[in-house]
Structure 1
Amino acid sequence: MDERDWHILKVLYQKKNITKTAQSLYISQPSLTKRIQQIEKEFNLKIVERGTRGVQFTPQGEYLANCADEMLIRLRQIKETAFNMGQEISGTLRLGVSNYITLHKLPGLLKIFREQFPKVDFNVTTGWSKEILNLIYNEEVHVGIVRGDYQWSESRHHLFEETICIASKEKIDIQDLPSLPRIDYGTDALLKSMIDNWWRRNFSRPPLVGMEVDKGDTCKEMVRNGLGYGILPSVLLEKDQNLYQINLKDEQGDTLIRDTWMLYHEKTLELKLVNEFVQFVKSVDFMRDI
């Protein structure tokens, strides 16, 4: 079996459907069926059976499917180690990056890095910080960039900090917030918890949510148009100094801060490509250079 076969088993086990698996892998159903038959012939056992509810894995097939992640990781490590033996920095850098960083910081960061190392390719996965933490923990990516102070026992590097602000088009009094329309948005669990805890410490009734949008950038646009106030990270408001802003504070009167971190396993620095990228990121001022 080669890498493609293990990937087929992994996706088929997830989808439990030949049609959906073929579509996901961009191959025809006959080609997929033939490949599965070849895998069965190689192992001399039945892997899957078709039923009224789609594909059902045999116990032996389920065992092989459960081995797929391990085998794919091992094959990837072999390739990376082989690349690492060369003198030139090349290969594919796998990154897991939070949504905000992907949109606002990552393009410029990768552009500068590729100018230095033109033979490097990038495989980038984006999502909420908690999702990225899981990717780096399971070694599905080389380096993760997350926002918030998640527990992480391996290597980390602080990139920047930001305050959490109440933002509005016109000046408002913080005590009036419960009666003013608030614009909520999708965000990671840590930031939501930070905002919710701050609210409970200061008010005895829930916010008047007038609108729920997909992300912080959309919330900011609604605020700019006077449709309500938002509670946003300060980095989203850097170019909107005309908006009225109030920093959230804790019980001691200190401004609430959220940090952004680069996370990685120390052993991955043995790969020249990863080591170069980590050292490069450490040299960058995220608030000025990018």
Structure 2
Amino acid sequence: MNERDWHILKVLHEHKNITKTAQSLYISQPSLTKRIQQMEKEFNLKIVERGTRGVQFTPQGEYLAICADEMLIRLRQIKETAFNMGQEISGSLRLGVSNYITLHKLPGLLKRFRERYPKVDFHVTTGWSKEVLNLIYKEEVHVGIVRGDYQWSGAKHHLFEETICIASKEKIEVGDLPSLPRIDYTTDALLKTMIDDWWRNNFQGPPLVGMAVDKGDTCKEMVKNGLGYGILPSVLLEHDPTLRQLDLRDELGNPLIRNTWMLYHEKSLELKLVKEFVEFVEGIDFMTDL
């Protein structure tokens, strides 16, 4: 079996569906079925069976699917080690990055790194910070950038901090918030918990949610058009004089802070590419340079 075969097993085990797996891999269903049959012939055993609920893995197939993750990681490590033996900084850098950083900071960061090391390619996976943390933990990426203070026992570097703000078009008082329309948005669990805890510590009832949108940037635009107030990270509001801002504060009057971190496994620094990228990021001021 080659690397492609192990990848097919991994994706098929995730989807448990021939059609979805073929679509995900950009191959035809007959080609996928033929490839599975060839694997079964090679191992002389049945890997999957089709049932009313889609594809079911046999016990032997389950074992091979588990091995697929190990094999893909090992093959990737072999390639990276081979690249690492060369004198030039080259190869594929795998990054997991939170949604905000991807949109607002990552393009400029990667552009500057590529200017220094033109033979480097990037494989970037984006998502909520908790998802990125899981990618780093499983070593599916070399480096992750997350927003929030997640538990992490590996190496990390602090990138920047931000306050959490009440944003509004007109001046409002904190005490009036329960009677004013709030624009909610989908965000990561840590930020939502921070905002919800602050609200419960200050008000008895729930907020008056007048609108729920997909993300913080959308919320900001609704606030700018006077459709309600939002509770947003300060980095989304910087350089916007059209909005009024009030920091959320704890019982002692200190502003609530959210940190952004670069996370990685210490052993990843054995790869020259990763070491150069980590040191490059450590020399960047995310708030002024990007």
The TM-score range, normalised by the shorter chain, is over 0.9
Pairs within 5 Å for 1:30-41: 30-41=30-41
Larger deviation: 56-65 or 151-160?
Answer: 56-65
Match of 1:262 in 2: 262
Pairs within 5 Å for 1:43-122: 43-122=43-122
Larger deviation: 47-56 or 28-37?
Answer: 47-56
Match of 2:272 in 1: 272
Match of 1:186 in 2: 186
Match of 1:4 in 2: 4
Partner secondary structure for residue 246 of structure 1: strand
Deviation at residue 16 of structure 1 after TM alignment = 2.0
Q: Match of 2:82, as an amino acid? A: A
**Is 1:156 aligned with 2:156?**
yes
Match of 1:201 in 2: 201
Deviation at residue 28 of structure 1 after TM alignment = 1.5
Deviation at residue 13 of structure 1 after TM alignment = 1.5
In the alignment, the residues of structure 1 paired with residue 133 and residue 49 of structure 2 have an alpha-carbon distance, to the nearest angstrom, of 36
Pairs within 5 Å for 1:163-242: 163-242=163-242
Match of 2:22 in 1: 22
In the alignment, the residues of structure 2 paired with residue 185 and residue 16 of structure 1 have an alpha-carbon distance, to the nearest angstrom, of 32
Q: Match of 1:59, as an amino acid? A: P
1:29-63 deviation per Cα after TM superposition (whole angstroms, max 9, x unaligned):
22212211211121111112223332222211111
Q: Match of 1:82, as an amino acid? A: A
Q: Match of 2:190, as an amino acid? A: L
Pairs aligned (count): 290
Deviation at residue 242 of structure 1 after TM alignment = 2.5
Partner secondary structure for residue 240 of structure 1: coil
In the alignment, the residues of structure 1 paired with residue 263 and residue 44 of structure 2 have an alpha-carbon distance, to the nearest angstrom, of 43
In the alignment, the residues of structure 2 paired with residue 15 and residue 192 of structure 1 have an alpha-carbon distance, to the nearest angstrom, of 30
In the alignment, the residues of structure 1 paired with residue 51 and residue 224 of structure 2 have an alpha-carbon distance, to the nearest angstrom, of 55
RMSD: 0.9
In the alignment, the residues of structure 2 paired with residue 234 and residue 48 of structure 1 have an alpha-carbon distance, to the nearest angstrom, of 51
1:224-258 deviation per Cα after TM superposition (whole angstroms, max 9, x unaligned):
00000000000000121221110111111111111
In the alignment, the residues of structure 1 paired with residue 219 and residue 17 of structure 2 have an alpha-carbon distance, to the nearest angstrom, of 39
Partner secondary structure for residue 241 of structure 2: coil
Partner secondary structure for residue 289 of structure 1: coil
In the alignment, the residues of structure 2 paired with residue 192 and residue 50 of structure 1 have an alpha-carbon distance, to the nearest angstrom, of 42
In the alignment, the residues of structure 1 paired with residue 131 and residue 21 of structure 2 have an alpha-carbon distance, to the nearest angstrom, of 24
Name segments (4+ residues, structure 1) moved above 3 Å.
none
TM-score (normalizing by structure 2) = 0.98
1:169-225 deviation per Cα after TM superposition (whole angstroms, max 9, x unaligned):
000111100000000001111111111111111111111000000000000000000
In the alignment, the residues of structure 1 paired with residue 52 and residue 235 of structure 2 have an alpha-carbon distance, to the nearest angstrom, of 52
